[in-house]
Amino acid sequence: MSERLWAPWRFEYVQDADAKNKGGCIFCVLPGEDNDRDNLLLFRGKSAFVMLNAFPYTSGHLMVSPFRHVGEMGGLNDEELLEINQLVKRCCEWVSKVYNPEGFNIGVNIGRAGGAGIPGHIHWHIVPRWAGDTNYMTTVADVRVIPQDLRTSWDLLAGVVEGKK
């Protein structure tokens, strides 16, 4: 028997992501555009940037990526590695101010076999966590319930990133 969860609001995200992927790597294409809110970019550094994940595990799920198209750790230079790690730290601070999580999962999926959805461009995931945030929907139906839309998340986090909150 096939189980279905009707979530029509997800179509916009899926359709948008498919269109962006056809135009090239999202980690290369989106920072080149001048539309940070629609593209979910929160911060631009010298060699790396921060963006919301369009398909989050939890509200406030961020990603940090180098601007350069690099697929593996060995391809990053020391400047990129330092800035990326500094941004991961800042992401935890920003998310903590907005969402007050009880913990974080921070990780990098390298290569298709390592779980990377976009294996050609390395990126770090910063996922806020709360006790009990994995409920029956996740364990039984393999579905995640995200209680906040992405634009609201972007607005809240952008206020912290810009020092408004």
Q: Please list the active-site residues.
A: 123
Q: How far is CA 40 from CA 64, 123, 126, in A?
A: 12, 15, 15
Is residue 129 helix, strand or coil? strand
Asked whether the beta carbons of 106 and 127 are under 8 A apart, the reply is yes
Vertex 133: Cα angle to 129 and 136 (nearest 5): 155
98 CB-side CA count, 13 A: 26
Q: How many CB atoms lie within 10 A of CB 62?
A: 29
Is residue 148 helix, strand or coil? coil
